[in-house]
Structure 1
């Protein structure tokens, strides 16, 4: 089984970086952890207060897809921070890397 790292980059609505971080820190990341998702790192980018990143590790591609599908369909996510998080994101980009490459 080959572990993978998913890197998500977000361009946020102007002036919303601190609010987004608060939601991630107090709502979203705890939900991730409760669902068994390993969050390696997250936060506001050093170059822009309205740019954000989230790094998650999974045991493989198939496991990642299943875990994320279950997470994003969960009542905890849908009734929790989903609406506010989505409203603050202007655009997002996703990259998935082999875990060994990500730690070089």
Structure 2
């Protein structure tokens, strides 16, 4: 079965990586999952580029349309805007996402939790 896999990377402000990952795992991911978004994994990069700490978030969706709808719904929600949004966004210097076709086997391989 084909799925849409999104890999999002974050370039973080210096000294914020540990707290960013903690908030992501303890607050943001549970909200994403409660909203029906399938989180595959998240965490810190093993390598810092240019002195910046980096982190990632990997999510899976049934289709591009589901990806669009779920993102719009989640990021417009009060739970996100009045929840961990500021703690996440305030630590990010930049981000980048790629979205690709993948298989369930690839999703399972990325999943470590």
Change over 3 Å in CA distance of 1:14–1:56 after alignment to 2:
same
CA distance in 1, matches of 2:21, 2:6: 18
What is the Cα-based RMSD across aligned positions, in Å? Answer: 1.9
Shift of the alpha carbon at 1:2? 4.4
TM-score, length of structure 2 as denominator length: 0.85
Greater shift after overlay, 47-56 or 22-31? 47-56
1:75 pairs with 78, 83, 86, which one? 78
TM-score, length of structure 1 as denominator length: 0.93
Structure 2: runs of 5+ lacking an equivalent? none
CA distance in 2, matches of 1:102, 1:14: 35
Shift of the alpha carbon at 1:50? 1.2
SS at match of 2:39: strand
